[in-house]
């Protein structure tokens, strides 16, 4: 998220549709349908609706294995976990954000899977805009907002933290945080401490943080590398111990 959106949703190689594609996500715990917006371009509501309903129909009929790339996946990975909204650079920049949310909610109400979540994955761009705010009001409390807050966003008081606070006092949010090895070195103790300080500040101010997700995605940057799982585990444990927040690592 460059803020470029880099979320830990991994594709299995499914055939590309125009707007809605099925993925298997480790962080979501199984199958998700990913709706992606690009470069502030409006999405075709008709195409989004058609593609989503086609995928849901395959699930409802027990025929999802007809999608070639999913033919040999374990059954437990074909349990629909939600609709993930992502974007380059951010889904919240989609001009018809509210209309997309309204259509997803409508289709969900018509399907045999009304319990699936709508999950907005965001950098926080334009969260305060009227169109985004109206769209968010259409979501259920069981739907989720995953907001990216990385350690380098926590070095000083900034607008992103304020945006998180504004939303998280109204509904629970998930904090997504990417940690990297810089020039081969793991994040410093002071960097992690400052990050935890911001989480505590949000908590004290009334933010409802349901989960902190810690991960280290691959990046095309010679200065930054992925952390090993053991490093992420140590960071996650420190966050959990010092902030009291539920924390997972991937």
* Same structural domain, 4 and 126: yes
Number of folded domains that form the chain: 2
- pLDDT value at residue 14: 45
Ranges of the chain with pLDDT below 70: 1-16, 153-157
- pLDDT value at residue 15: 60
- pLDDT value at residue 1: 33
* Same structural domain, 71 and 184: no
Quote the domain boundaries for residue 2. Answer: 1-148
Which helix (H) or strand (E) covers residue 162, if one does? helix 159-168
* Same structural domain, 138 and 187: no
* Same structural domain, 98 and 222: no
- pLDDT value at residue 169: 95
* Same structural domain, 200 and 106: no
Provide the whole-model pTM.
0.89
Looking at the domain assignment, is residue 168 inside a domain? no
pLDDT in tens, 59-77: 999 899 888 888 888 888 8
Looking at the domain assignment, is residue 173 inside a domain? no
- pLDDT value at residue 6: 37
* Same structural domain, 25 and 106: yes
Looking at the domain assignment, is residue 189 inside a domain? yes
* Same structural domain, 244 and 144: no
């Amino acid at each position: 998220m460059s803020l470029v959106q880099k979320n830990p949703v991994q594709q299995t190689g499914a055939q590309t549709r125009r707007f809605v594609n099925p993925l298997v996500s480790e962080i979501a715990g199984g199958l998700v349908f990913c709706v992606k917006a690009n470069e502030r371009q409006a999405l075709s509501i008709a195409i989004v609706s058609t593609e989503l309903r086609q995928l849901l129909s395959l699930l409802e009929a027990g025929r999802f294995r007809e999608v070639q790339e999913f033919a040999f996946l374990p059954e437990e990975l074909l349990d629909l976990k939600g609709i993930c909204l992502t974007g380059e650079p951010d889904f919240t920049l989609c001009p018809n954000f509210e209309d997309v949310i309204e259509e997803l909610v409508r289709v969900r109400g018509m399907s045999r899977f009304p319990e699936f979540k709508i999950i907005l994955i965001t950098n926080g761009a334009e969260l305060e805009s009227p169109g985004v705010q109206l769209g968010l009001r259409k979501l259920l409390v069981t739907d989720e907002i995953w907001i990216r807050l990385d350690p380098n966003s926590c070095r000083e008081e900034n607008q992103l933290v304020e945006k998180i606070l504004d939303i998280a006092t109204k509904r629970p949010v998930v904090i997504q945080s990417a940690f990297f090895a810089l020039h081969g070195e793991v994040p410093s103790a002071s960097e992690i401490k400052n990050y935890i300080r911001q989480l505590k500040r949000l908590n004290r101010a009334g933010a409802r943080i349901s989960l902190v997700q810690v991960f280290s995605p691959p990046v095309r940057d010679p200065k930054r590398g992925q952390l090993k799982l053991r490093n992420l585990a140590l960071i996650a444990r420190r966050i959990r111990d010092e902030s009291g927040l539920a924390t997972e690592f991937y």
